[in-house]
């Protein structure tokens, strides 16, 4: 990711080593979310699974939870509501994936304005995130 020298520094969310290791080892994301409720990647995994299973409202709810947990962490990390949130930093991916599913689920329930907002937010955070999640 190219950094704009005149813009804000990229925001990097903190590592969640135990939660990430649990997901990576195949622990069900429901268990990971219950044990680590502030871990956006678990909520994103739940949202993606629900969306793939046709459970759009559940996907929307899971994605909104992961999105808001990520926003809280971004703000604590110094993010001021704008600026890069790099996809290449694994801890950011949970937030960005939740944002993408939130947009996709919003589109499926007819929330066109929220879909567009999520799509723009994702691309503004990092175009690589839009590419990786398919929300572009």
**Average predicted confidence (pLDDT) for the chain:** 95
Residue 2 has pLDDT above 60, yes or no: no
> Alpha-carbon distance 47 to 55, whole Å?
9
pTM over 0.85: yes
Question: Is the predicted pLDDT of residue 4 greater than 70, yes or no?
Answer: no
Q: What is the pLDDT of residues 85-127, one digit of tens each?
A: 999 999 999 999 999 999 999 999 999 999 999 999 999 999 9
């Amino acid at each position: 990711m190219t950094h704009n020298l005149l813009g804000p520094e990229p925001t990097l969310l903190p590592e969640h080593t135990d939660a990430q290791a649990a997901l990576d080892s195949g622990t069900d994301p429901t268990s990971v979310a219950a044990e680590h409720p502030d871990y956006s990647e678990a909520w994103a995994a739940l949202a993606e699974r629900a969306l793939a299973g046709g459970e759009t409202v559940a996907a929307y709810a899971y994605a909104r939870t992961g999105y808001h947990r990520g926003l809280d962490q971004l703000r604590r990390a110094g993010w001021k509501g704008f600026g890069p949130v790099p996809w290449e930093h694994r801890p950011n991916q949970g937030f960005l994936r939740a944002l993408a599913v939130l947009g996709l689920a919003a589109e499926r329930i007819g929330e066109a304005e929220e879909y567009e907002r999520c799509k723009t937010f994702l691309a503004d955070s990092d175009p690589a995130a839009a590419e990786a999640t398919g929300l572009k």
